[in-house]
Structure 1
Amino acid sequence: MWALGLLSLAVLGDVACGKPVYTGDKVQSRTPYAVKDSYDVPAKWTREGPAPEDHHITLSIGLKQSRFGDLEKQLMEVSDPDHPRYGQHLTPEEVSKYIRPTEEASDDVHEWLSDNGVDLDTLSHTQAGDWITVRLPVKQVEQLLDTEYSVYKHDEDGTRMVRAPEWSLPRHLHGHVDAIQPTNSFSRPSKLSKPNMKRSSTLKPVSKAEGALRVPLGTPGVQHPTVSQVCNTSLVTPLCLRTLYGTVDYVPQVPGQNQIALCNYLNETNNRSDVSIFLQNFRPDAAGAGQQFTIDIIANGQNQQTPLSATQLGNGQDIEGNLDAETILGISYPTPLTAYNTGGSPDFIPDVNTPTDTNEPYLTWITFVEGQSSVPQVISTSYDDDEQTVPPSFAARVCQEFAKFGVQGHTLLFASGDSGVGPTGGCTSNNGTNATAFIPEFPSTCPYITSVGATKNFAPEVAAFDSSNNFASGGGFSNYFARPYYQNTTVPQYIASLNGEYAGLFNASGRGYPDISAQGQRFAVVYDGEVISVDGTSAATPAASAVLSLVNDALIAAGKSPLGFFNPLLYKTAYAGFNDITSGSAIGCGTNGFAAKAGWDPVTGFGTPNFPKILSILGVPTNSSSTT
């Protein structure tokens, strides 16, 4: 069993540094307080002053999952195509027995909360009891964790957060609690898309897109178009993607049994009007889907369907959301789509107590989805952040949460980042040395998800790079997570091929990413009724997700289990169903970054999907019929 393989841990102090200071009627610690977790404030964050005492925080307490090692073993068995239990995914009830905290852990944590003035009736629990959530004022949280919260401001964009770089617990709770947030995590999931053109009066309405932008929407009289007939590097359309990756003639057989989802954060949503216009023009048979897909609101997530204000348009609000929905529906229709709109923006505005302030959005989403009776088999997420903005202990726990999805038969795909090996001018380690280093992206570095890089061009496809906006497909190696076993036969070969190049700038024993890739440059997007083009691994991720969702459709129709956690299958056999990318590189940090090479590489993974080949490897028929 390879386990999480966490390579570096935040320092866990063992010196008594405090005591319960709650001044209510009942105070009990049982053991002295000691530092549980400490993490340096990332670069570009500046402390402005103490957090207001009456500012409220929604505190999430992650209790140690009693049998996660056994759950991980189950995950590997049901995901390994050579194992007799392959495809025998667990039910939520079966997962619960592995992650439920011990009775001692649960009792001790609840006793600690009660003894420090927390009303147990105000607590919320996940189904398995491994997360406890409670909303408290900063003053009480500071007493509870023997810490001090401050307001921190991002030097570049002015975002503010309320955070505490170091926090403590009574010693007897250290083994019972994995993580508590928000404390020292400065993660801000970023939208991984970059518009190629500013909105202006020169942009043509979508109804004139075919002529104005010279986008081939089809070839009259040709039933089975070729890539050269329907693809144009100036604007990538669903017909191009379906033709390029071989899904254009596939007719989904079990829509409803098979489903797909996307995740929206940062006040993004999917504008139904724009999505409908996009489909009317680029996937006419799917036109009605723009008004039919499901939008689930989580923690006061945004779902503005009225026209955007000038400020919102200027900020590009909903470009990401429109891109994701339009791309997925344009490829996988009529597979039902669910959009999860998660609130909990981390921004803090002084003197305003916003109820969702300081939440960790990934955790908020996880907690909601785990409580649903039905969850789509493929879930696409176009958001990422620097791994070093997340404390190792919390990154490990979030990664464990993702493992729970895989063992139940869900495939999670995350964008690999848009800055190659790291943003130029921002390639500095956060370990106290301020050394120059490549900057990996999380959650792409989690070994339990599938990370997606980006390509461009068609004959052949190459690693994506756009000098006009410095977009470069992200890739690299984790500083937190060890190389998972399924990469042991591929990643070392790539590292050996470097012959020492970039030594010291990356962790050669870390989990490599991305795993696969797809087109990610010059995507057609309808935004505010007009066509723009967008770059990003956030375009590649919904495209790859839609193709894998159609793979699931064929599997389910053939009486087989869905893909679930895809990586063990991918690295063992399914890589042969992907188009190898051998040109381009993950440009970043003032370097050319990692180059694409034959086989797996940390810029395009194993390459882009070839739908018919994947189905052939899996032993299922395509059931093809022209749908163009």
Structure 2
Amino acid sequence: MALCKLLTLLSIIAMASAGMVVHESRTSAPAGFVSQGVAPANDMLTLRVALTSNNVAGLEDKLMSLSTPGSPGFRQWLSMEEVKSFVQPSLETVSAFSAFASANGLKPTVISPNGDWVSITLPVLQANQLFATQFEVFTHPDMSNTITRTLSVSLPSELVGHVDVIHPTTQFIGPNTRLAPASSISFDKRAVAASCNSSLPSGIVTPTCLQELYGIPATPATEKTNSLLVTAYEDEFAQTADLSEFLKLLRPDIPSTTTFTSVDDAGTEANLDIQYTTGVATEVPIEFLSVGGDDFGTSLLDTTTFLDGVATPPSVMTTSYADNEADFGISMATKICNGYMALGSRVYL
């Protein structure tokens, strides 16, 4: 173990002298994460590398224009290919990373429709050397598995300006991504409030109440080409039988056979999301996407890259999952936001 630490330290010193630039760092792991020591040198890592898009600023300008009433570009949504022209990396960026990968025996795989994400697999020792870092194994009291992360990651100078994110490295995403704890509630039809002017002893907020509070029409939607996507994470699924019972109880005016299209075992949070979405958005076509994995940052990336490749994506997306943005790190948070900006620029009709 001592020899491994020494070799890693010498490698970092050598790389630093060869022109390494600190890409992202943090002084310590977030609360709850405890280092169990350096990661074994021969353990294999699969890292996702975000290549710099060729014109994110231009895409942001387009989105601002198409979403601003009175702008010449208002509602001039972009096609899939037009979005790709902004998001894909430049030939110079692709060439720079390809040269780096080839020189170090890496075989990158493109994992996104827009070509801005690639995946590489390499041993811990090589990752430590290439990115002037030291990967460690971390535990968290609320997580059953360990994770391999680092507190600092650097780029060789020839990749500066060509790589936005290396993930997972300094990103520590907590184990619970729900906005609020969900709990099971037992109640019968006689207890259901007719409107927000009534109250339930269990504190249940009904679809009718939400419609009154926010002025959401209770009449059925007429534009069937508009659709609403509900996303769920942590391997949770929604259950059609539970949705049917929910509608019978809280929206008896809607057919209890109303269901959703699954683009992928039920979970409490996923059930909650699909039930209230269906109960509030009367007869709007609903789609449901369950994203696996226990790393929320990766799941958010998987969501955007999946939808990037859908020819006719849903008009609106909703979720009730969240996490502490600071735990993502600036580069990761920015890349995720840019991914959803790209989706928001797409034409849906």
- Relative to the length of structure 1, the TM-score reads 0.49
Report the counterpart of residue 252 of structure 1 in structure 2. Answer: 221
User: Does 1:172 pair with 2:172?
Assistant: no
Moved more, 160-169 or 52-61: 52-61
Kindly indicate whether the alpha-carbon contact (under 8 Å) linking 2:79 and 2:347 is maintained by their aligned counterparts in 1: no
Equivalent of 2:271 in 322, 339, 344: 322
2:65 maps to a residue whose letter is: E
Equivalent of 1:338 in 283, 287, 308: 287
Report the counterpart of residue 119 of structure 2 in structure 1. Answer: 133
Residues 291-330 of structure 1 correspond to what in structure 2 (within 5 A)? 293-297=260-264, 304=265, 318-330=267-279
1:296 maps to a residue whose letter is: V
1:288 maps to a residue whose letter is: T
User: Does 1:242 pair with 2:211?
Assistant: yes
Report the counterpart of residue 265 of structure 1 in structure 2. Answer: 233
Residues 219-238 of structure 1 correspond to what in structure 2 (within 5 A)? 227-228=196-197, 232=200, 234-238=203-207
Residues 87-236 of structure 1 correspond to what in structure 2 (within 5 A)? 87-120=75-108, 123-155=109-141, 160-188=146-174, 190-195=177-182, 203=186, 209-211=188-190, 214-217=191-194, 227-228=196-197, 232=200, 234-236=203-205
Report the counterpart of residue 371 of structure 1 in structure 2. Answer: 309
In structure 2, how many angstroms separate the alpha carbons of the residues matched to 1:141 and 1:334? 51
Report the counterpart of residue 19 of structure 1 in structure 2. Answer: 15
CA 1:278/1:137 → structure 2, altered by over 3 Å: closer, same or farther? farther
In structure 1, how many angstroms separate the alpha carbons of the residues matched to 2:33 and 2:298? 17
In structure 1, how many angstroms separate the alpha carbons of the residues matched to 2:288 and 2:281? 14
Kindly indicate whether the alpha-carbon contact (under 8 Å) linking 2:21 and 2:155 is maintained by their aligned counterparts in 1: yes
TM superposition shift of 1:97 = 1.3
In structure 1, how many angstroms separate the alpha carbons of the residues matched to 2:284 and 2:137? 44
CA 1:397/1:248 → structure 2, altered by over 3 Å: closer, same or farther? closer
User: Does 1:79 pair with 2:49?
Assistant: no
CA 1:231/1:409 → structure 2, altered by over 3 Å: closer, same or farther? farther
TM superposition shift of 1:80 = 0.8
Equivalent of 1:33 in 6, 14, 20: 20
Report the counterpart of residue 321 of structure 2 in structure 1. Answer: 383
Kindly indicate whether the alpha-carbon contact (under 8 Å) linking 1:17 and 1:33 is maintained by their aligned counterparts in 2: no
1:216 maps to a residue whose letter is: A
CA 1:281/1:126 → structure 2, altered by over 3 Å: closer, same or farther? same
CA 1:273/1:51 → structure 2, altered by over 3 Å: closer, same or farther? farther
Kindly indicate whether the alpha-carbon contact (under 8 Å) linking 1:58 and 1:359 is maintained by their aligned counterparts in 2: no
In structure 2, how many angstroms separate the alpha carbons of the residues matched to 1:173 and 1:141? 15
Report the counterpart of residue 69 of structure 1 in structure 2. Answer: 57
Kindly indicate whether the alpha-carbon contact (under 8 Å) linking 1:231 and 1:240 is maintained by their aligned counterparts in 2: no
TM superposition shift of 1:246 = 3.4
Residues 168-567 of structure 1 correspond to what in structure 2 (within 5 A)? 168-188=154-174, 190-195=177-182, 203=186, 209-211=188-190, 214-217=191-194, 227-228=196-197, 232=200, 234-255=203-224, 257-284=225-252, 285-290=254-259, 293-297=260-264, 304=265, 318-346=267-295, 360-408=298-346
TM superposition shift of 1:54 = 4.9
CA 1:193/1:272 → structure 2, altered by over 3 Å: closer, same or farther? farther
Q: How many residues align?
A: 334
TM superposition shift of 1:232 = 4.3
2:146 maps to a residue whose letter is: R
1:367 maps to a residue whose letter is: T
Superposed CA RMSD: 2.7
Kindly indicate whether the alpha-carbon contact (under 8 Å) linking 1:17 and 1:35 is maintained by their aligned counterparts in 2: no
TM superposition shift of 1:105 = 1.0
In structure 2, how many angstroms separate the alpha carbons of the residues matched to 1:143 and 1:364? 28
1:320 maps to a residue whose letter is: E
In structure 1, how many angstroms separate the alpha carbons of the residues matched to 2:118 and 2:56? 18
**Matched residue of 1:76: which SS?**
helix
TM superposition shift of 1:177 = 0.7
Kindly indicate whether the alpha-carbon contact (under 8 Å) linking 2:231 and 2:288 is maintained by their aligned counterparts in 1: yes
2:231 maps to a residue whose letter is: C
TM superposition shift of 1:165 = 1.5
Kindly indicate whether the alpha-carbon contact (under 8 Å) linking 1:210 and 1:216 is maintained by their aligned counterparts in 2: no
State, as a whole percentage, how many aligned pairs show the same letter.
Answer: 29
- Relative to the length of structure 2, the TM-score reads 0.86
In structure 2, how many angstroms separate the alpha carbons of the residues matched to 1:239 and 1:363? 34
Report the counterpart of residue 37 of structure 2 in structure 1. Answer: 49
In structure 2, the gaps of 5 or more residues are 1-11
TM superposition shift of 1:242 = 2.8
